[in-house]
Amino acid sequence: MQIYGPAAAALDSLSRSQIEFLQRIPKAELHAHLNGSIPIHVLQELAAEYLTSPQDASTEAGDMVKAGIEKLVAGPALDEIHDFFHLFPAIYALTATPDGLARATRGVLSVFLDGDTPQCTYLELRSTPKATEGMDRERYLNVVLDAVERYPADKATLIISLDRRMGNEVLKECIQILGKLKKEGRRVVGIDLCGDPKAGDMAEFAPYFAEAHKLGLGVTLHIAEV
């Protein structure tokens, strides 16, 4: 995995023994967005398949995916908070099918939790349930949970994110799905508010988060981002 910018400079300042010490420390990752954590090699595999499919290869959407992947591989400049939002349409297109979403989720989990020196010993993965031509929001969450639950409960769990741009009908649907998943004993531990910080009114989300809290879910909010 290539590291860029200030993170790369900080890593370069460490000695080998310091890096090995940090790798050995047990760590908990509590803020991993699924679509923002997909390994580049997984994105490249999904993009190659997407761009060679007859219905997408020569479309504007196909060009968008290719341009987005090229930016990711090159190491995009993220100088402003909105710079990274422009990359997500390409990633969303690659995870719009159950197969693409499952592969992306497995890739993220593997990077964090597998290997001799895993990046963390406990992971709270978070993702916004999306409705696409290939699946509804409930199927989306079940696909992600199927991958998460391949790991022990003390290793991986899921936080469900609500986007600030969601309307009331979608929010109600998400809360209903949350209730169903909790009754089924699926590994959902929290609910999150995320998305474009300039969109929506946080006060309108209060009743939905109160309902999620009644279901026994923890609450996490993205605030003060700009």
| Per-domain residue ranges of the chain | 26-221
Q: What is the pLDDT of residues 100-131, one digit of tens each?
A: 999 999 999 999 999 888 899 999 999 999 99
Mean pLDDT of 189-199: 86
The H or E element that residue 72 is part of is helix 60-74
Q: What is the pLDDT of residues 136-157, one digit of tens each?
A: 999 999 999 999 999 999 999 9
pLDDT of amino acid 8: 86
Assigned fold of 26-221: TIM Barrel (3.20.20)
- The CA distance from 89 to 80, in Å, is 17
Say which residues have a Cβ less than 8 Å from residue 209's Cβ, sequence separation at least 6: 191, 193, 219
Q: Longest C-alpha distance within the chain, in Å?
A: 53
pLDDT of amino acid 59: 67
pTM: 0.86
